[in-house]
A and B are shown apart, each in its own frame.
Chain A
Amino acid sequence: MSIQQLLPLLLLFPLIGAFINGTAGKKLPKIVAGSLATLMTFVSFLIALTIFLNLDQPVRSLLFTMIDIDSLHLDAALYADNLSMWMTLIITGVGSLIHLFSMGYMSHDKGYYKFFTYLNLFIFSMLILVLGSNYFMLFFGWEGVGICSYLLIGFHYDDEQKGLLNGLAARKAFIMNRIGDLGLLIGLFLMLLSFGTLEYEQVSRMVLVDKILPNGNMLFAITICLFIGATGKSAQIPLFTWLPDAMAGPTPVSALIHAATMVTAGIFLVVRSNYLFHYAPFTREIILYIGLATSIVAAFIALRQNDIKKVLAYSTVSQLGLIFVALGLEAYTTAIFHVTTHAFFKALLFLGSGSVIHAMSGEQDIRKMGGLKDKIRITHITFLIGTLAISGFPLFSGFYSKDEILGYAFGHSLTIYILLVISVTMTAIYMFRLYFVVFHGTFRDSKDVEHHVHESPLSMTLPLMVLAVLSVIGGVLNLPGIFLHGSGTHFLNNLLNKNVAGLDQIHNVHPDHTTTLILMGVAVAICLTTLFISSIVYKKKGSVPSEDAQLSAWETFSNKKMYWDELYDILFVKPIEWFSKVFYTIVDSFILSGIIEGVVRTVAFSGDIVRKWQTGKVNSYILWMVFGIIGFITYYLIKL
């Protein structure tokens, strides 16, 4: 089978899974429903792998023409190059693992089949997003994953206490995403205006080969609109507050959607449009600073969060910020590299936290945990690996990817480098805090809960182990040149440069070996120091995160998420609600309806006046008749 034929199949399998589970899932045994969904995703993964291995040139596969009006031609087509296939591999690969994990994690949930329907649907949408051959298809997937995200965040809508809150979180996610989507949509319009097409191939050919470029302002507008879309989906300032709230969804969802795949869509978008961003340096600046700010802000907030998933959520936001810094520096392959490693270790961490929560019978507050390391051994080890990977522990995957970013930042400007280092340091601090508080010390919840603590089943631990291995060895995907010389290094770099439009034309200057070594040294030092201090603070001294009331000023600031939600509430929500009330009660009900009522009343009132003319007396009738005649004659005389 040719790649053209395989590509639609890639999409078809998750869709079939979703369809079967959606229609007949209720009647299927749980194990069948779960395995079906997992299998479908895994088959997709295998197909993706086949395509990936056989792919030389970008391949476009037309499904059908969606809209064909004279000026507007939009195809439903798929497009495979190394970038999209790489993303597909991550999505289906990590996706399969998380599906597998979910089979165990969700086993007690009554919405089991529904969960897998949504998951498969998500995979499908995500694949459309990365495999679509034009921005229009991308937008389809873009919104599709938004819907799935909405459905999955609000999955436990019927919860006794938090049902409505879960719904609220889902709604918030959807709305904030939509704000970004509007930006993206406008970007699309602008591209249609300046290029007349949304096909990647045609746009890239125009920009790269024909050198037909819109003027600077237009290019800035296009790229900034695309970036606004990216901030929505990838949770950057100012649209990031939905992601922590999105943790209301089941943990596998957080792992799959809100850590490994969906939130990287924004990065994919920027990398996909790299040739546009290349000519829009000002936008890149903005991306750089937004990414930097997000990275620091989120890391700071994560310092004093007590919900295990919230910590990881802010960590995700922070890491995404880091990746955007890379994008701002035009280090696209590095960004993808970090996306990949991040997918591994963040999925691992989330799944690990899921396993912890599973063990804790649903408790998420780290203040109630502690000393779990012996009770759930596999989870503990894998979680530790994850923590080390994200903190940049030497030779773990995160170490390489993060280091590359730091290297480029250093090359760009020292200030940015220092700021990034601060962010990275904070990452290490809160991750070790999390790790130690959860797994070391003494168990702090009731005996009842302690009694129930148990290791998860194999279906859950197996993905953890696989991911742990990947987190460790993920670095080999793009080894820096200083360790090995020759074909082994910069695998991902070469891969992406091979047939992804635009990337091959960008030549980032790698820092020289000495600098690289120094930077690595700094990173390692930071990581180890933090580890050391943390272990003293939390392990030796057994400190426990203090209650909210006892926090110092900066801690409260961090704990309260820097009051972003409150700020948005005052800036947007409250005024709109006020407008809503004013529009309804004053403008609509009072003024506009009042005018109508007023007219009706005036007419009725004048009717009453006119009626008074009719007195019932014959004399007056005749009087008026005479007046009428006199009037007639007067008119005649005047006219005369």
Chain B
Amino acid sequence: MIALITLFVTGLITLFVAFTRKPLLVGIIATIGLIGGLFGLMYESRYGIRLFPDYHGLNFDTTAVMFSFICIIFTTLLVWTGFKPLTENENHAGDHIALMIFSLCGALIMTSFTDFFMFFLGLEILSIPVYVLAGMKKSDALSSEASLKYFLTGSFATGILLFGIAWIYGSTGSFDLLEIKNAILNSTHNSSLLYVGVLLVLASFLFKIGAVPYHFWSPDVYAGSPATIMGFMASVVKIAAFAAILRLFTDTFDSISGVWGPLVLGVSVLSMFVGNLSAIKQTRVRRLLAYSSIAHVGYALLAVVTFDSVETTTYHYNVYYYLLAYGLATIILITAENIINDESDDIENWVGIARKNPILGLFIIMAILSLAGVPPMMGFFGKYLIFSQAIYDYPYIVAIALLNSGIGIYYYLKLIVKVLRKPYEAPKFDKLIICSLQWIVLIISGVLLLIGGFLLLLF
């Protein structure tokens, strides 16, 4: 709660400070605010203090704190890495950062809601700023197109979600998750209203995380949006949505998992295949990342459906860890995108990065290997956690998932090869300019990626 308020205030202050047209100041305040939010979160969870003891709409339990924690960290990293592009226009230096922070507020709500009111609000607070952010580059037709596509499909999904909520409400008579859970458990025969409602809610969620066949927006929007925003969508938005899924489905609707479980499983497999196969021939980096993210959603969904064989915290950890690994890797690649700073976003721009700047190249390769799930990167351990659980119930699906990892390695490796090979205009090439903030982001994420697996092996 403290975190949420801190962040909200930070967003507001950032907006106002932006009038001074001092981007640096904006950045400093945003950073302080974000870190303050982080401390607030930790303080609250450590001492169990509740700001408004009577209010039950939001509940920052362990899972919520965990997910909120990485949401804030990722936002901070993204603000840093995208600081220059975000504040390019001095007149609106604070706008984008403020919007990101507002969206983060929505994400925090998504991780901690206890009823559909807050859930709905959180979702919209999360989404609406992102619609705007996607169209950040006003003069760029592609950016606004992305924005529009995201908006139209997003609001459509909102409609579906609401429709579903209405049906659930109709059958259970409550918006409170606990009450709904009990209502489902207590009634001997649940009406079709409930099931259809759950499925509709599920569909809208799958839309948010970009799973097949609700994924169509994501390649277009990822490709059209500025890199930083794409990173935000891929990491923070996705994590928030997954947190909500865990809360909603595996906690509240777990007793009717027989209905939605197989569907999620099917979507998961479809996502893997569509994501990996489509990514193979991509020539644009962000599009490639979009498809790869679809595939990763497929893997992560596998963790969602295996909840009934293990205790709650374990699979929460699995999803959490997986998304953390995925987010870190994405942030590194987004940073690289920002560094290369090329409008066309062609994969050929990545040729020879490792020669131009070996350390950047190293980080990029680490990130890609992590995405591909090659040990000892964190991405491997994410897969390990998920697959080793899922195999109890669905050995065939795990086999398919591993096969998909094999397909995935194909395009990841091609990207690595591009990064490693000689630049075309040898021997002299333009130096890549990397500002100190970006270095910090790279090092933090890179080190986490590397030791995230090995270090945890020791603990």
Contacts and interface: CB of A to CB of B under 8 A. Distances in A.
Any A–B CB pair closer than 8 Å: yes
Interface of A: 600, 603-604, 606-611, 613-614, 616, 618, 620-622, 624-625, 627-629, 631-633, 635-636, 639-640
B277 to A, nearest CB: 4
Contact of A607 (B214, B216, B280): B280
B279 A607 contact: yes
B410 interface: yes
Contacts of A639: 259
A600 B410 contact: yes
Nearest to A603: B407
Contact of A603 (B153, B160, B220, B277): B277
Contact of A614 (B219, B263, B276, B410): B219
Contacts of A629: 160, 199-200, 203
B141 to A, nearest CB: 13
Interface string B257-279: 00100110000000001101111
A616 B156 CA distance: 17
B294 to A, nearest CB: 11
A606 to B, nearest CB: 5
Contact of B280 (A604, A614, A633): A604
B394 interface: no
Contacts of B160: 625, 629
Given A603-B277, A603-B280, A627 B213 contact: yes
A614 B278 contact: yes
A604 B202 contact: no
B192 A640 contact: yes
Given A625-B203, A633-B196, A636-B196, A604 B156 contact: no
Contact of B203 (A606, A616, A632): A632
A614 B156 CA distance: 18
B428 interface: no
Interface of B: 148-149, 152-153, 156-157, 160, 192, 195-196, 199-200, 202-203, 206-207, 213-214, 216-217, 219-220, 259, 262-263, 273-274, 276-281, 407, 410
Given A603-B410, A628-B214, A639-B259, A611 B203 contact: no
Contacts of A604: 280-281, 410
Given A603-B407, A607-B281, A621 B217 contact: yes
Contacts of A603: 277, 280, 407, 410
Given A600-B410, A621-B149, A607 B259 contact: no
Contacts of B152: 618, 622
**Which of B157, B262, B263 counts the most A-chain CB atoms under 10 A from its CB?**
B263
A627 B157 CA distance: 13
B443 to A, nearest CB: 35
B263 A635 contact: yes
A640 to B, nearest CB: 7
A386 B199 CA distance: 106
A610 B152 CA distance: 23
Contact of A613 (B192, B274, B276, B407): B274
B199 to A, nearest CB: 4
Contact of A624 (B202, B216, B280): B216
Contact of B277 (A607, A627, A631, A632): A607
B199 A633 contact: yes
A608 to B, nearest CB: 6
A605 to B, nearest CB: 9
B153 A625 contact: yes
A629 B263 CA distance: 11
A625 B277 contact: no
A622 B213 contact: no
Given A600-B410, A611-B278, A618-B149, A625 B207 contact: yes
Contacts of A635: 262-263
B213 A610 contact: no
29 contacts: A600-B410, A603-B280, A603-B407, A604-B280, A604-B410, A607-B276, A608-B281, A610-B273, A611-B277, A613-B216, A614-B219, A618-B152, A621-B153, A624-B213, A625-B153, A625-B156, A625-B157, A625-B203, A628-B206, A629-B160, A629-B199, A631-B213, A633-B196, A633-B199, A635-B263, A636-B192, A636-B195, A636-B259, A640-B192
Contacts of A624: 213-214, 216
Contacts of A618: 148-149, 152-153
Contacts of B407: 603
Contacts of B149: 618, 621
Nearest to A631: B213
A622 B276 CA distance: 22
A633 B263 CA distance: 10
A628 B192 CA distance: 18
A625 B199 contact: no
Contacts of A611: 277-278, 281
B277 A610 contact: yes
Given A600-B410, A607-B277, A614-B219, A636 B214 contact: no
Contact of A628 (B153, B196, B203, B220): B203
Contacts of A610: 273-274, 277-278
Contacts of B199: 629, 632-633, 636
Contacts of B276: 607
Among A603, A622, A624, A632, chain B packs the most CB atoms within 10 A around the CB of: A632
A621 B216 contact: yes
Nearest to B287: A614
B202 A622 contact: no
Nearest to B219: A614
B195 A625 contact: no
A600 B277 CA distance: 11
B345 to A, nearest CB: 16
> Which 6 A-B pairs rank lowest in CB-CB distance, beginning with the nearest?
A607-B280, A621-B216, A607-B277, A628-B213, A610-B277, A632-B199
Nearest to B275: A610
B408 to A, nearest CB: 11
Contacts of A606: 277
B280 A625 contact: no
Contacts of B156: 622, 625
Between A620, A627, A633, A640, the greatest number of chain B beta carbons within 10 A of the residue's beta carbon is seen for A633
Nearest to A629: B203
Contacts of A622: 152-153, 156
A629 B216 CA distance: 14
Q: Which of A618, A624, A640 has the most CB of B within 10 A?
A: A618
A608 B276 CA distance: 11
A632 B206 CA distance: 12
Contacts of A632: 199-200, 202-203, 263
Q: Which of A627, A628, A639 has the most CB of B within 10 A?
A: A628
Given A618-B153, A636-B199, 17 more contacts: A600-B410, A603-B407, A607-B279, A610-B273, A613-B278, A614-B216, A616-B220, A620-B216, A621-B149, A622-B152, A624-B213, A625-B153, A625-B157, A625-B207, A625-B216, A628-B213, A633-B196
Contacts of B280: 603-604, 607
Contacts of A633: 196, 199
A625 B161 CA distance: 13
A603 B206 CA distance: 26
A607 B195 contact: no
Contacts of B192: 636, 640
Contacts of B213: 624-625, 627-628, 631
Nearest to B279: A607
Contacts of B214: 624-625, 628
Contacts of B273: 610
A582 to B, nearest CB: 31
